[in-house]
């Protein structure tokens, strides 16, 4: 499956729900609630993913949200997707609040690995950014994910000026101590901070400059299909950490984009920052219609622009990053 620019689509990011138990300042506007009607069912999700894998060459699926753990049927969804022949990589991005309690269940159901959002290691700063006094729970969740074999565990950190850029060194040392990768993400002009983007944005070059106080040597790692530019960082204290920079604004990676997104309500997003091109609901309800689904998919892929717009149209809690 290729788009008009010849980019092969191999990666589906599937938002299971817009609901989340956090209210991160860059992600979820105050008016959003955890009420999420009309979501795709486990059976519908399985049929869609099986078709994308079997007929269109998708090889990787990441479950996103909101937060996927807000769905009571998450284990069923994981188990259904894990049994699809040809799906090589089933991953999940989560806020980590429930990982300590459920990491082993997720692994037993067939989940391969997790990314955990972690924007600060200072409890007060964490609570200010997420709206939840839950840092200890997230840290326990990271340990539980490692113990359960949901590896490689990766940490995702969105950097905001005057909020958590001072956390960069601590997060890097934490990643080195835990043996996990950390990816520092540039703020995008979408969602609650869209109008304040220019004041809150910290480019990756500035992040690296801050980290040079603790990093002795940067060694580039193979890029692959990851959106992050990865480095092995040799720290001045002798430790090592794998650090990535996700740079949608300072140096976009659109030319290598291999993904599409489907939201929990069936909206198809060929691009994170663009509008949805269509909905798949009529093609999956009351029963899955492969031909109708392919028509929607082809139309959507044809609408995938060479580069993302200068400003996003939806909030991250709906589309799932």
144-167, pLDDT tens digit by residue?
A: 999 999 999 999 999 999 999 999
- CATH number of the domain residue 174 falls in: 3.20.20.70
| Whole-prediction pTM | 0.95
- 1 located within any domain: no
Number of domains in the chain: 1
- End-to-end Cα distance, the chain: 22
Structure tokens at 113: 């690995």
Task: Write phi, then psi, for 69 (nearest 5 degrees).
Answer: -70, -5
Split at pLDDT 50, 70, 90, the class of 315 is confident
- 303 located within any domain: yes
Please enumerate in sequence order all residues whose Cβ is within 8 A of that of 263, keeping only pairs 6 or more positions apart, or say none: 15, 18, 269, 276, 318, 319, 320
For residues 234-261, give the mean pLDDT: 92
Split at pLDDT 50, 70, 90, the class of 310 is confident
Its domain, for residue 270, covers: 11-319
Task: Write phi, then psi, for 236 (nearest 5 degrees).
Answer: -70, -20
- The yes-or-no verdict on residue 195 having pLDDT over 90 is no
pLDDT at site 242 = 97
pLDDT at site 35 = 63
- The CA radius of gyration of the chain, in Å to the nearest whole number, is 19
Return the HEC string of 106-159: HHHHCCCEEEEECCCCCHHHHHHHHCCCCHHHHHHHHHHHHHHCCCCCEEEEEE
- 60 located within any domain: yes
- 5 located within any domain: no
The tokens 């959002």 sit on which residue?
117
Higher pLDDT, 320 or 269: 269
- The yes-or-no verdict on residue 59 having pLDDT over 90 is yes
- 133 located within any domain: yes
- 4 located within any domain: no
Q: Which residues of 97-109 are buried (b: 16+ CB within 10 A; e: fewer)?
A: bbbbebbeebbeb
pLDDT digit string (tens) for 196-215? 889 999 999 999 999 999 99
pLDDT at site 156 = 98
For residues 240-255, give the mean pLDDT: 90
Do the Cβ atoms of 154 and 182 come closer than 8 Å?
Answer: yes
The tokens 């509008």 sit on which residue?
275
Q: pLDDT > 90: what percent of the chain? A: 74
pLDDT at site 133 = 97
Q: If you average pLDDT over every residue of the chain, what do you get?
A: 93
pLDDT digit string (tens) for 19-46? 999 999 988 776 666 666 789 999 999 9
pLDDT digit string (tens) for 87-128? 999 999 999 999 999 999 999 999 999 999 999 999 999 999
Split at pLDDT 50, 70, 90, the class of 271 is confident
Q: pLDDT > 70: what percent of the chain? A: 96
d(CA 95, CA 88): 24
- The yes-or-no verdict on residue 320 having pLDDT over 80 is no
Task: Write phi, then psi, for 206 (nearest 5 degrees).
Answer: -70, -40
């Amino acid at each position: 499956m290729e788009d008009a620019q010849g980019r092969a689509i191999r990666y589906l990011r599937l938002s299971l729900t817009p609901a989340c138990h956090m209210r991160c300042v860059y992600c979820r506007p105050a008016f959003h609630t955890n009420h999420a009607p009309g979501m795709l069912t486990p059976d519908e999700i399985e049929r869609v993913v099986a078709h994308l894998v079997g007929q269109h060459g998708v090889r990787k699926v990441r479950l996103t949200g909101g937060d996927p753990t807000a769905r009571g049927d998450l284990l069923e969804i994981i188990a259904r997707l894990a049994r699809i022949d040809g799906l090589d990589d089933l991953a999940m991005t989560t806020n980590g609040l429930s990982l300590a309690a459920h990491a082993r269940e997720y692994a037993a159901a067939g989940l391969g690995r997790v990314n955990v959002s972690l924007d600060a290691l200072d409890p007060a700063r964490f609570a200010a950014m997420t709206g939840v006094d839950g840092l200890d729970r997230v840290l326990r969740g990271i340990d539980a994910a490692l113990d359960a074999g949901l590896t490689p565990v990766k940490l995702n950190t969105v950097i905001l000026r005057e909020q958590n850029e001072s956390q960069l060194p601590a997060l890097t040392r934490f990643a080195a101590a835990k043996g996990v990768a950390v990816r520092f993400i540039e703020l995008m002009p979408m969602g609650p901070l869209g109008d304040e983007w220019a004041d809150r944005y910290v480019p990756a070059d500035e992040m690296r400059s801050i980290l040079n106080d603790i990093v002795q040597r940067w060694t580039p790692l193979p890029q692959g299909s990851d959106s992050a530019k990865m480095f092995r960082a040799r720290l001045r204290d002798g430790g090592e950490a794998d650090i990535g920079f996700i740079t949608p604004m300072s140096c976009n990676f659109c030319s290598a984009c291999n993904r599409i997104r489907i939201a929990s309500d069936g909206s198809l997003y060929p691009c994170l920052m663009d509008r949805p091109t269509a909905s798949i609901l009529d093609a999956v309800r009351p029963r899955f219609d492969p031909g109708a689904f392919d028509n929607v998919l082809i139309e959507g892929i044809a609408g995938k622009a060479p580069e993302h717009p200068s400003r996003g149209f939806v909030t991250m809690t709906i589309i799932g990053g």
